[in-house]
Amino acid sequence: MSLADVSMLELFRVEAENQASEIIKGLLELERDAHNQKVLQSLMRASHSIKGAARIVNLPNAVVLAHAMEDCFIAAQKGFTLKRPHFDLLLKGADHLARIALLDEGKISDWIANNSKTYNELAEAISNAMSGGQIEMPDIHFTAAIEKTSSEPVITTATFGDGEEKVLRINAELLDRLIGLAAEFLVESRRLAPFVHSLLRTVRQLNGLTGRLERIERHLAGIGEIEHELELLRVAIQISAETADGIAGNWRFLESFERRSSQLSRQLYKEATTSRMRPFSEGVANFPRMVRDIAGELGKQVQLIIGGHNTLVDRDILDVLQSPLNHLLRNAIDHGIESPDERLAVGKPAEGVIRLEARHQAGMLFVAVEDDGRGIDPEALRRLVVLRKLVSEETAVGLSTVELYDFLFLPGFTVKDKVTEISGRGVGLDVVMNSLQQIRGSVRTHSEVGQGTHFQLQLPLTLSIMRGLVTQIAGEAYVFPLTRVEKVLILGQHDISSLQGNDFFYLNGKPVGIVVAAQVLELQQTADLTDCYNIVVISDRDGRFGVVVDRFIGESNLVVRPLDPGLGKLRDIAAETLLEDGTPALILDVDDLTRSIDRLIGRNHLQQGGASPSKAAKLGKRILVVDDSFVVREVERKLLENRKYRVEVAVDGMDGWNAVRSGGFDLVITDVDMPRMNGIELVSKIKQDAGLKSTPVVIMSYKDWEEDRLRGLDAGADYYLTKGNFNDDTLLEVVTSLIGDA
């Protein structure tokens, strides 16, 4: 087998191990709480991921079993009651998928093929059980297999054929520690430079002192009564000169040592990080076969063109990219590329083209997936959003094309009417978004009707280091991840405009609001911002802002150090790092930062040109919207702001809790399923707080389960609405009944 094949099967083995473990854990939890929708969603995603990964490495029997389990979890989400025999079947299926992780990579394909009857019988038993048939556990017998030992060696070597590369397999944790130590050495070696330079300054000062002492000695030489003092002065001159010579000698040695140490540390770190890097082609080697097979199933002709084969990608990032790229390619084939007859009818070649390309640019990794298919019709998407009752017709009319594209990434959202093995479950783009967020990445969508769709993934080059823009804010060092910096500007007062007390400037013909970083971070401002504006332009799905900092220090490759878990999530801060001179610095969480800016804008508390915060009175009643979906937040925000309510947003329960504790909210509207803290927990915290318990809370959820409704109301919620059934009037009526007009 080729090295690439071994690598892909190894990735699948790890995927099967992790996901099967999650399935077993989830099934045991679900057996105790059969209506736990969060667990069911996790189980469905895990089985869906195994199915997709098995398809990539061409293991059809594993695909069949995982697909049957996925169908079972979907049925349970829709109300099918799972009983103990069902759990027995599903646990057995999870055991068989987990067994793959125990096999040698070279034996996986043959072993599953030899046991195809077992997998098929088990899948058939699960399907029959879901259709109401008799539940029977098939008689399972495995053929012999060579399995992995339970204790994997830390380091092993293997050679693949004559003249081929000799490969060293090293435990990932050990490699991570080596890279961490190399990064530490890189930082520590640079701390010697300031000391060397200080020695040079000392030598210069001593030489200057020696010269001054000699001039004083010559001036006083003719005065006889101070001969004793002159002798002491001569001794001091001699000591000063000898000290300067000694330090000079040591300085030259230290300078040479610092130079060699710095070179070696850079080379060590480069080699260590390079050991984690693999060619992009290794991670996508099996995609052409997958595209061919899926296109054949759908009766389409599709060619996959891969660019950037030799672009180096961190192995961890390459691993995480497997699932997003899998879903994007499947979507391109199923949703994007037309049938041969359709393409010929509009003057296109019968064969569609999908391009997958990776490249390095500005210290970041860009991966693009582009097809020449039918594209995304924004008006059709607008109608579908209204049809699914995600927004009203009036609200949908005001949504931009970019905002409409964001609906595609919602959990459970799909443009397909029918569910197939390829698509239609609304899982794909949700997985893409979740996977990218795990590795500090982002995705942008562009489409033209009849021309095709383009997805661009922006990622860091590696997870162990980060390319950052180092700035000074309130006298301290803060780092903006370079992947999130759109532009850096230095503007004069004449470049700044003001409207209704808020400063802004024009960038590419569009206004960009200015905010002072020290105010957002609640720091004491130390610089006068009225004459010169050092601006970092950042953006996310919520908007674009120009953040004013004291000064720019420069760009740098920095080692990312996680914050102590005991601190919890610090607002606006993602991690910590050490600069090249050893100075500690905090890495900013740009997503959190933009949310903090939104809150300041919502309160009308923005500074103007560095002046003190505005004392303007708050206009209208304040409402906090808590939801992890950008689209849902924006829809609710615009709806309420149209009625003159003042609206602030939070992206999850923890963010909402931090916001609501600041006080002053007349109403809280929250989702249920959110990371870090769910909506039920948020409601409980609000109602248990003596100062907040009188604040009305409305729960809005996609779930329409009576049990969840009772849990929400028991926690203290004043209303429980379902997003699938509410309309604008329903929400506004509830808001008005609780807090009155704005």
More confident residue, 430 or 382: 382
Cα dist. 177→189, 313, 464, 565, 679 in Å? 18, 19, 10, 19, 38
Nearest to 639 by CA among 384, 388, 392: 392
- The yes-or-no verdict on residue 737 having pLDDT over 60 is yes
Digit-coded pLDDT (tens) for 133-158: 555 655 554 443 434 433 343 444 44
Least confident of 169-183, 412-426, 595-609: 412-426
Residue 429 backbone class (left: φ over 0; alpha: ψ -120 to 50; beta: rest): alpha
Helices 679-688 and 653-660, packing angle to 10 deg: 20
Q: How far apart are CA 548 and CA 518, in angstroms?
A: 8
Mean pLDDT of 522-551: 78
- The yes-or-no verdict on residue 299 having pLDDT over 60 is yes
More confident residue, 144 or 668: 668
Q: How far apart are CA 532 and CA 641, in angstroms?
A: 34
Alpha helices in 491-535 (DSSP H): 517-520
pLDDT of res. 472: 92
Q: How far apart are CA 432 and CA 48, in angstroms?
A: 13
With tokens 């099934």, the residue in question is 27
pLDDT of res. 151: 37
Digit-coded pLDDT (tens) for 188-215: 666 666 666 666 666 676 666 666 666 7
User: What are 425's two structure tokens?
Assistant: 């479950």
Which amino acid, one-letter code, is at 252? R
pLDDT of res. 114: 75
Digit-coded pLDDT (tens) for 439-448: 767 788 899 9
735 near 667, Cβ under 8 Å?
yes
pLDDT of res. 199: 65
Instruction: Categorize the per-residue pLDDT at 217 as very low, low, confident or very high, splitting at 50, 70 and 90.
Output: low
User: What are 669's two structure tokens?
Assistant: 């509207």
- The yes-or-no verdict on residue 338 having pLDDT over 90 is yes
3-state secondary structure 422-490: CCCCCCHHHHHHHHHHHCCCEEEEEEECCCEEEEEEEEECCCCEEEEEEEEECCEEEEEEHHHEEEEEE
More confident residue, 550 or 277: 550
More confident residue, 158 or 77: 77
**Whole-angstrom distance between the N-terminal and C-terminal Cα of the chain?**
69
pLDDT of res. 530: 56
Q: In the predicted model, what is the mean pLDDT of the chain?
A: 76
pLDDT of res. 94: 84
pLDDT of res. 547: 92
Strand 485-492 to strand 465-473: parallel, antiparallel, or no bridges (unpaired)?
unpaired
- The yes-or-no verdict on residue 450 having pLDDT over 50 is yes
Can you spell out the DSSP letters for 659-672? Answer: HHTT---SEEEE-S
Q: How far apart are CA 142 and CA 114, in angstroms?
A: 8
Digit-coded pLDDT (tens) for 453-480: 999 998 877 776 777 899 999 889 999 9
pLDDT of res. 694: 86
Q: How far apart are CA 572 and CA 600, in angstroms?
A: 13
More confident residue, 294 or 145: 294
pLDDT of res. 148: 43
User: What are 576's two structure tokens?
Assistant: 């910590």
pLDDT of res. 350: 92
Percent of the chain with pLDDT over 90: 11
More confident residue, 202 or 18: 18
Mean pLDDT of 480-498: 85
Mean pLDDT of 331-356: 92
Q: How far apart are CA 70 and CA 622, in angstroms?
A: 43
- The yes-or-no verdict on residue 162 having pLDDT over 50 is no
pLDDT of res. 66: 87
Q: How far apart are CA 259 and CA 270, in angstroms?
A: 17
- Share of the chain residues as helix, strand and coil, in percent rounded to the nearest 5: 50, 20, 30
For 154, residues 6+ apart whose C-beta sits below 8 A from its C-beta are 170, 171, 174
3-state secondary structure 127-187: HHHHCCCCCCCCCCCCCCCCECCCCCCCEEEEECCCCCCEEEEECHHHHHHHHHHHHHHHH
Q: How far apart are CA 422 and CA 435, in angstroms?
A: 20
Mean pLDDT of 678-705: 84
Mean pLDDT of 3-13: 60
Instruction: Categorize the per-residue pLDDT at 337 as very low, low, confident or very high, splitting at 50, 70 and 90.
Output: very high
Instruction: Categorize the per-residue pLDDT at 358 as very low, low, confident or very high, splitting at 50, 70 and 90.
Output: very high
Instruction: Categorize the per-residue pLDDT at 2 as very low, low, confident or very high, splitting at 50, 70 and 90.
Output: very low
Count the helices and strands in the chain (H runs, E runs): 24, 25
User: What are 35's two structure tokens?
Assistant: 């209506």
pLDDT winner (highest mean) among 420-429, 616-625, 680-689: 680-689
pLDDT of res. 63: 86
Digit-coded pLDDT (tens) for 577-625: 878 676 889 999 887 788 788 767 654 444 444 433 333 334 568 899 9
- With residue 281 as reference, give the H or E element that holds it: helix 280-283
Instruction: Categorize the per-residue pLDDT at 171 as very low, low, confident or very high, splitting at 50, 70 and 90.
Output: low
More confident residue, 35 or 377: 377
Three-state DSSP state, 504? strand
More confident residue, 163 or 169: 169
Least confident of 191-195, 381-385, 407-411: 191-195
pLDDT of res. 159: 43
User: What are 491's two structure tokens?
Assistant: 């503007």
Strand 155-159 to strand 277-279: parallel, antiparallel, or no bridges (unpaired)?
unpaired
Nearest to 613 by CA among 499, 515, 532: 515
For 555, residues 6+ apart whose C-beta sits below 8 A from its C-beta are 363, 467, 468, 469, 470, 482
